[in-house]
Amino acid sequence: MKDVVATYYFRPRGDTSPAQAAVAICEEETTGTWTGIGTRQEYVKRLDGSVEAVEACGEGYTTKIHYPSEIFEVGNVAQYLSVIAGNLFGLARLQSVRLLDIDFPDELVPFRGPKFGISGIRHLVGTTKRPHVGTIIKPKVGLDPGDTAAVAYEAAIGGIDLIKDDETLTDQPFCPIRERVPAVMAQLDDAKAETGQQVLYAVNVTTRADRIVERAKEAIGLGANMVMVDVITSGFSALEALASDPSIKVPIHVHRTMHAALTRDPFHGIAMRPIARLVRMLGGDQLHTGTVSGKMSHSADEVRGDNAALMASFYGIKRTFPVASGGLHPGKVAKELATLGTDIILQAGGGVHGHPGGTASGARAMRQAVDAFLEGIPPEEYARDHRELAQALERWGLG
């Protein structure tokens, strides 16, 4: 059996050498303990991890640690994380440590991955190569079902491909799923009759892991054509439960709310790359990975690498659609696409609904900005005969 290989960045405590620090991680996450014990049998040594290398990197070091596959319970992702991302973050011999990436052997990837993936979602929407444009119902909470549906209709007639609940809207009394979903889907049917375009609506079904499949089934029974899960707050097992259930026959949109508590510090925590790999393995059809020009803090190189992890060849598993979101507007579209490519969903909330002409105009402006990029025309030039884009650029500019 092959090993699981985890890559870490770390900075050792002053009295600890880099090699000692790497060994401390390895021992803590496999068979070691802080003192000698009489219960350690000779045969246990086969489960010892090993340090591949320690290399200087900026103010710290990187290392690759090999974990024998036998340590892992096949298919138990919660247990996988207890090994590769367990007690090491609290080790006193380390000033900081960050899990950068993971590589699993095929025997530890029994998962089927996304049911739809990029190609399946493109088939549903009717696109081939162009980026998809999405929006979020705003304000994120507070609207009743009727007003939520009205916002969705305006976005749909403007040319949006995807409409989603925000991360904090689930099944509150002011906008319950049993009323919200039929209202939104009826408006999307009306919009489709006008435009001919299929629009996906990602209903946030986040709840307890043992209830999430039931809630998703309820939403689908009410007409939902996509569901959404907040994967960090509800847990990777909740996503797995949704994706593995044969009755969930719609795409799964994965929001990463709370991720920055893990990913933001460049010296400590867990990078987005391992999260992206796990989401794809477990069946997420779409995943938020960040922008290169939005309101959230990101490294462009990291975002490109995270997106590549969602789309590279991987045990025959379908590709996951990356989602760029957080502070986008039409003036930022060209930079996003030039940096991240066109296999992407550009998700704009305020950048759609905050348009001077309203939601439908904001959606048209986003689509016009995409068209300008695909035609190789600078947005300011394209805006000369596209009013909605011109208004957006006047309001927000190009940066």
Per-residue pLDDT of the chain (399 residues; tens, 9 = 90+): 589 999 999 999 999 999 999 999 998 888 776 556 555 567 667 778 899 989 999 999 999 999 999 999 999 999 999 999 999 999 999 999 999 999 999 999 999 999 999 999 999 999 999 999 999 999 999 999 999 999 999 999 999 999 999 999 999 999 999 999 999 999 999 999 999 999 999 999 999 989 999 999 999 999 999 999 999 999 999 999 999 999 999 999 999 999 999 999 999 999 999 999 999 999 999 999 999 987 666 788 999 999 999 999 988 999 999 999 999 999 999 999 999 999 999 999 999 999 999 999 999 999 999 999 999 999 999 999 999 999 999 999 997
Domain that holds residue 50: 3-108
Same domain, 283 and 155: yes
Residue 215's pLDDT is: 98
Tokens of 92: 């006193």
- List the catalytic residue out of 164, 255, 259, 332: 255
CB atoms within 10 A of CB 307: 25
85, 108, 131 - which closes a domain = 108
Contact (CB, 8 A) for 268 and 89: yes
Same domain, 225 and 285: yes
CATH number at residue 149: 3.20.20.110
Class of residue 74 by CB neighbours under 10 A (exposed 0-12, middle 13-18, buried 19+): exposed
CATH number at residue 18: 3.30.70.150
For the stretch 130-165, pLDDT in tens is 999 999 999 999 999 999 999 999 999 999 999 999
Distance CA 360, CA 341 (A): 25
Residue 15 CB partners (closer than 8 Å, separation 6+): none
Residue 46's pLDDT is: 79
Same domain, 168 and 132: yes
Contact (CB, 8 A) for 63 and 84: no
Average pLDDT of the chain, as a whole number: 95
Same domain, 254 and 342: yes
Distance CA 303, CA 296 (A): 12
Same domain, 103 and 168: no
Q: Which of 100, 67, 63 is nearest to 82 (CA)?
A: 67
Number of H helices, E strands in the chain: 16, 13
The number of folded domains in the chain is 2
Radius of gyration of the chain (CA): 23
Q: What is the DSSP letter of 134?
A: E
Same domain, 92 and 122: no
Same domain, 161 and 37: no
Active site residue 386: no
Active site residue 255: yes
Same domain, 130 and 85: no
Residue 40's pLDDT is: 58
Q: Is 299 helix (H, G, I), strand (E, B) or coil?
A: coil
48, 74, 108 - which closes a domain = 108
Distance CA 77, CA 24 (A): 23
Distance (Å) of CA 391 to CA 156, 358, 363, 364, 385: 19, 11, 12, 11, 11
Q: What is the DSSP letter of 317?
A: P
Same domain, 93 and 125: no
79, 108, 137 - which closes a domain = 108
Distance CA 335, CA 357 (A): 24
Same domain, 69 and 141: no
Same domain, 160 and 279: yes
> In the chain, pLDDT over 70 holds for what percent of residues?
96
Distance CA 11, CA 20 (A): 11
Residue 199's pLDDT is: 98
pTM of the model: 0.96
Q: Which of 175, 179, 173, 252 is nearest to 212 (CA)?
A: 252
Distance (Å) of CA 94 to CA 18, 55, 62, 267: 9, 16, 13, 11
Q: Which of 208, 215, 219, 136 is nearest to 180 (CA)?
A: 219
Same domain, 148 and 265: yes
